[in-house]
Structure 1
Amino acid sequence: MESQRSFLIIGLALVSFLLWQQWQADYGPKPVTPVTNEQRVDPVSEGVPSSGSNANNSDIPAGNEDVPIAQNSEATPAVKQDRTIRVKTDTLDVLIDLVGGDVISANLVDFPVKQGAKEAYSLLRTQNGLYQAQSGLIGKDGPDQSASGRPRYDAAQSEFVLAGDTLKVPLTWRNDAGIAITKTFTFTRDSHDVEVTYTINNGSSQSANFQQYAQLKQVLEQENSSGNMFMPTYRGAAYSTEDDNYEKYTFGDIEDKNLRLATKGGWVGMLEHYFVSAWIPPQDQTNTIYSRTLKNQFAIIGFTGTPISVASGDSATISSELYMGPKDQDKLAQLARGLDLTVDYGILWWISQPLFALLKFIHSLVGNWGVAIILITVVVKGAMYPLTKKQYESMARLRNLAPKMQQLKDRHGDDRQKMSQAMMELYKKEKVNPMGGCLPLILQMPIFLALYWVLLESVELRHAEFFLWITDLSVKDPFFVLPVLTGASMWLLQKLQPTTVTDPMQQKIMQFMPVMMSVFFLWFPAGLVLYWLVSNVITLIQAKIIYASMEKRGLQTR
């Protein structure tokens, strides 16, 4: 197969893939845009799951409202003053609602919202699309299922600041029966993982039953929530069970059907480009994963834990973990099985993960992600050189057979069966594989797509500088220099490599292919275009070397 045809196939395959991605985003289920609600604190309206004595028979209530913090500018300050506390660490700036003890805001201190900005990226938030991490205790004696509403915790102070390696933020609650609960958030330096622990002291005259729950709640519709055709990103829910390490569950899925899965361990999460929030229950216990929507405005995914009974005069401890931060594969893998798969490389993850590991290793040596992309391209193209050499030699042998092929056509005329048999005999006699030029393309396409997802999904490349005008490898080249150079390199490859295409239409398509690809590359991440440009330059050098070697052996190269 000619290299020009290879470029055409690669381009058409890539464009088809991206068009399919965009079609899914444009014509998939469309959730309803939410409206502002008045503030409420009853458990049913907050989407708190119900629980009977048997957790497997519990169900999610059919409440028709939820309780976001009031989203207008006048109501929010009052809420902060009256019922929130602030926790500041080296990685997180968090607001916790004392009613229920929910995390209603989480700013990622070490990730600016834009490159060079002082404002931190808001993962959990009360404005610009509500997104919260709720948790509590349900069951017969659970305060979050009380008829009087969710519990109002007390805190010793309104602001906590991390000074050492860890910071404990205790919230206390007690009822008239003598049941006391301390909900403690434990923050750790250089970590986006927060441990949430409930210490239950039963001072009542009878045993008490509790069940932990935790859930992530988010508005269904946001502007630009799914990226665009050339930067498709996933915003939605995901979960893990004992049988499935990682499963996406889109907002459309949540609207269509509520989850209810019992599993040992597991986790639930909400994903967006580069960042994830996740609740991780005790991994040695049986938990129930659930989902639901509220008034067609909010999507919820969460878990309920194993019910416990605390005898009169006894105490018990229940805990879970809340992660709010970047999709750091190494750290996520340490928290729970399959959580690192939220860095979603798709079906080619088995190629993308080793490529990312290699890219990260090279970066540790050179300290620049752009240079690392160049070097990994050299490594990949170098590893594929033997196949590339076979491709070019196969093409050359096919061209050398052109006179004999013409003789076969003259001899057999329109008898396709005899012509086909004669061609196969000729290939066998001359030891030529007509498909020999396709193998490098078959290998190159998955590698290209795998590296595409690496450069798209890896948070390490967010705001990563290269040099001069390329200050962020995760977005398009602001001056389109790299796409133009890539188109020029493709044009040079066309001039260098001979073609046997005689059809005028195919010739025109081949001539315009560099222009078409340059246009597509205008919206690609600069890191990906850099990879493609360097790949083309290396291919040009390899072609020169291979052609020189073939000419020495008497093979026709043109």
Structure 2
Amino acid sequence: MDSQRNILLIALLFVSFLLYQQWTMDNAPQPQGQGVAQQVNNSGDVPSHSGDGQPITDQDTSDNLITINTDVLALTVDTLGGDVLEAKLLAYDNELDSEDPFVLLKNEAGHIFNAQSGLIGANGIDTTAGRAQLRVSADSFTLADGQDELRVPMTYSKDGIEYTKTYILKRGSYAVDVTYTINNTTDNAASVQMYAQLKQNLLDDGGNLAMPTYRGGAYSADDTKYEKYSFEDMQDKNLNLTIAQQGWAAMMQHYFVSAWIPRTDEATNLYTRTSNGLGYIGVRLPVTTIAPGSEQTLTSTLWVGPKLQDQMEATAPNLNLTVDYGWLWFIASPLHSLLSFIQGLVVNWGVAIIILTFIVRGAMYPLTKAQYTSMAKMRMLQPKLQAMRERLGDDRQRMSQEMMELYKKEKVNPLGGCLPILLQMPIFIALYWALMESVELRHAPFFAWIHDLSAQDPYYVLPLLMGVTMFLIQKMSPTTITDPMQQKIMTFMPVMFTFFFLWFPSGLVLYWLVSNIVTLIQQTLIYRSLEKQGLHSK
């Protein structure tokens, strides 16, 4: 197998991988109500029954909204129930060079995405009469300069029981603690159950062939560190799991994730459901009994922010796995860590990608050298193999036996040119996912016209250069291909790959371009060495 066939193998494997990714999304049944503005409630869809056994009725949002601002978050909270209707991520632009921050949670026509929480049960404040109208001391709360923590209490009283729902936000953090403190001043025991859920329109998975991304649910439970649960899955079957130890329920999309993490040592219920074109995923904490004259606090944490692995890992076990590297995570994760380390030194993510490419290709140099050496030896045997074919004709069994004897005598491994390529493929694919899943590359500039490494090259310069380098690799590589059809396929490969890469994020194209340049350098060095050994001839 010569280098052209190796390139073809890489191309076919890589393209087949991407086509399979897209096929699985394109052939999935589309959820009902997709893309249609839903006239639904935003505060009354409670996931259980009230104490009298009747389902909670739907209600519209109220006009009593408050804002909570930190250095990284701007939340809009409805005092009717205390749900988060909107979450702006102040450190992330909505679009490149936009003055508007990215909105993760939203309450817009056609796209509702809220983080809800409340109390149900015999003494819950979410009842058949509706959600509780919580009292607050102001309509705006801001984390002051020099202040590390902001607490926003919201109160409600009912039948001698005082309820305080408190949002606790910290500087620089996307993890928001939500607590319910229940002070039972009556002579009877009180029983409540806290729930926390995410609600979003049933949307498609999103993405495209060049960047297949996922939008939908995900969760972590005792026996499952990380599992996706798409909107289609929610429609097919309601999820109903018991978390004995630690877990979470999330809705994720490209670069960003929202998740509820229950803070309890007791068994928690994890569930999903759909209603009126909306999908829900959430957790129910265990039923809690508050003795007369006593007080208890229930807590869940809301993560609402970018997929920052270190911060998410510190917030909840396995939450960092929402940065989905697929089955090659054990390769992609170290590559991302190395990329981040390099970026910390050079500051520019594009330069970090270039350095990482040189490191990866340098580490694989022994494989590359073994590949070309094996190919050179195979080319030297071609005259003997051709003579053998002419002598033996259609006697395939004898032909196979004599070929094996020849390979053994000449100490040639016929698979020597293939195995290095197959070993390199997992690294290529893992690096592809590491670059694609890195929120750090979103709107990250490189230089000149490349203002966003997560977007395609606006002038297609990088893809065209990539195609040129691929063409040069073909021209430099000796070949024994004589079949006209194979020759046409190999000639067309750089054109096909260039067209395919036009829509790839420029960070990924940069990697492939630099990888090709390194290949050209390595080929030159290896061929010079082989020529000295008398193994290389065009």
What does the per-residue CA deviation read over 1:320-354, in whole Å, with 9 as the maximum and x for residues that have no partner?
10010000011111111110000011111111001
Q: Following the alignment from structure 1 to structure 2, what is the Cα–Cα distance between the partners of residues 283 and 506?
A: 63
- Superposed, 1:215-254 pairs within 5 Å as 215-221=197-203, 226-254=206-234
Q: Following the alignment from structure 1 to structure 2, what is the Cα–Cα distance between the partners of residues 7 and 554?
A: 24
Q: Secondary structure at the match of 2:375?
A: helix
1:91 is matched with 72
Deviation at 1:186, TM superposition (A): 0.5
Contact 1:455 1:525 in 2 (8 A): no
Q: Which amino acid aligns with 2:39?
A: N
**Is the alpha carbon distance of 1:465 and 1:531 closer, same or farther for their aligned partners in structure 2, counting shifts above 3 Å?**
same
Q: TM-score, normalised by structure 2?
A: 0.96
1:73 is matched with none
Q: Following the alignment from structure 2 to structure 1, what is the Cα–Cα distance between the partners of residues 521 and 186?
A: 81
Q: Following the alignment from structure 1 to structure 2, what is the Cα–Cα distance between the partners of residues 502 and 67?
A: 74
Q: Which amino acid aligns with 1:185?
A: Y
Q: Following the alignment from structure 1 to structure 2, what is the Cα–Cα distance between the partners of residues 38 and 280?
A: 26
Residue of structure 1 aligned with 2:115, choices 133, 137, 140: 133
Deviation at 1:23, TM superposition (A): 2.1
Deviation at 1:40, TM superposition (A): 7.4
* 2:461 is the alignment partner of 1:459: no
2:188 is matched with 206
What does the per-residue CA deviation read over 1:207-238, in whole Å, with 9 as the maximum and x for residues that have no partner?
0001111000000136xx51111111100000
1:181 is matched with 163
Residue of structure 1 aligned with 2:361, choices 362, 368, 381: 381
What does the per-residue CA deviation read over 1:263-282, in whole Å, with 9 as the maximum and x for residues that have no partner?
12210000011000000001
Q: Secondary structure at the match of 2:224?
A: coil
Residue of structure 2 aligned with 1:193, choices 157, 167, 175: 175
2:155 is matched with 172
2:10 is matched with 10
Say how many residue pairs are matched: 532
The list of structure 1 runs, each at least 4 consecutive aligned residues, that deviate by more than 4 angstroms after superposition, is 38-41, 65-69
1:423 is matched with 403
**Is the alpha carbon distance of 1:484 and 1:68 closer, same or farther for their aligned partners in structure 2, counting shifts above 3 Å?**
farther
Q: Secondary structure at the match of 1:130?
A: strand
Deviation at 1:178, TM superposition (A): 0.4
Q: Following the alignment from structure 2 to structure 1, what is the Cα–Cα distance between the partners of residues 40 and 481?
A: 69
Residue of structure 2 aligned with 1:535, choices 488, 493, 515: 515
Deviation at 1:423, TM superposition (A): 0.2
* 2:274 is the alignment partner of 1:293: yes
Q: Following the alignment from structure 2 to structure 1, what is the Cα–Cα distance between the partners of residues 442 and 404?
A: 52
Residue of structure 2 aligned with 1:37, choices 39, 45, 49: 39
Q: Following the alignment from structure 1 to structure 2, what is the Cα–Cα distance between the partners of residues 490 and 547?
A: 17
Q: Secondary structure at the match of 1:291?
A: strand
Give identity over the alignment, percent: 53
2:99 is matched with 118
Q: Following the alignment from structure 2 to structure 1, what is the Cα–Cα distance between the partners of residues 42 and 379?
A: 77
- Superposed, 1:338-487 pairs within 5 Å as 338-487=318-467
Q: Secondary structure at the match of 1:19?
A: helix
What does the per-residue CA deviation read over 1:284-309, in whole Å, with 9 as the maximum and x for residues that have no partner?
221110000012x0000001012111
Q: Secondary structure at the match of 1:293?
A: strand
Deviation at 1:25, TM superposition (A): 2.1
**Is the alpha carbon distance of 1:221 and 1:153 closer, same or farther for their aligned partners in structure 2, counting shifts above 3 Å?**
same
2:124 is matched with 142
2:48 is matched with 49
Stretches of structure 1 that go unaligned for 5 or more consecutive residues are: 70-78
Q: Secondary structure at the match of 2:107?
A: coil
Contact 2:59 2:130 in 1 (8 A): no
**Is the alpha carbon distance of 1:546 and 1:35 closer, same or farther for their aligned partners in structure 2, counting shifts above 3 Å?**
closer
Q: Secondary structure at the match of 1:377?
A: helix
Q: Which amino acid aligns with 1:208?
A: A
- Superposed, 1:538-549 pairs within 5 Å as 538-549=518-529
Contact 2:77 2:85 in 1 (8 A): yes
Superposition CA RMSD, Å: 1.7
Stretches of structure 2 that go unaligned for 5 or more consecutive residues are: none
Contact 1:266 1:283 in 2 (8 A): no
**Is the alpha carbon distance of 1:38 and 1:124 closer, same or farther for their aligned partners in structure 2, counting shifts above 3 Å?**
closer
Q: Following the alignment from structure 1 to structure 2, what is the Cα–Cα distance between the partners of residues 105 and 378?
A: 43
Contact 2:264 2:285 in 1 (8 A): no
Q: Which amino acid aligns with 1:20?
A: Y
Structure 1 residues 449-458 or 429-438, which shifts more? 449-458
Q: Following the alignment from structure 1 to structure 2, what is the Cα–Cα distance between the partners of residues 106 and 308?
A: 30
Q: Secondary structure at the match of 1:170?
A: strand
Q: Following the alignment from structure 1 to structure 2, what is the Cα–Cα distance between the partners of residues 418 and 283?
A: 71
Residue of structure 1 aligned with 2:472, choices 489, 492, 500: 492
Deviation at 1:439, TM superposition (A): 1.9
Q: Following the alignment from structure 1 to structure 2, what is the Cα–Cα distance between the partners of residues 38 and 251?
A: 18
Deviation at 1:456, TM superposition (A): 1.0
Q: Following the alignment from structure 2 to structure 1, what is the Cα–Cα distance between the partners of residues 194 and 154?
A: 16
Q: Which amino acid aligns with 1:30?
A: Q
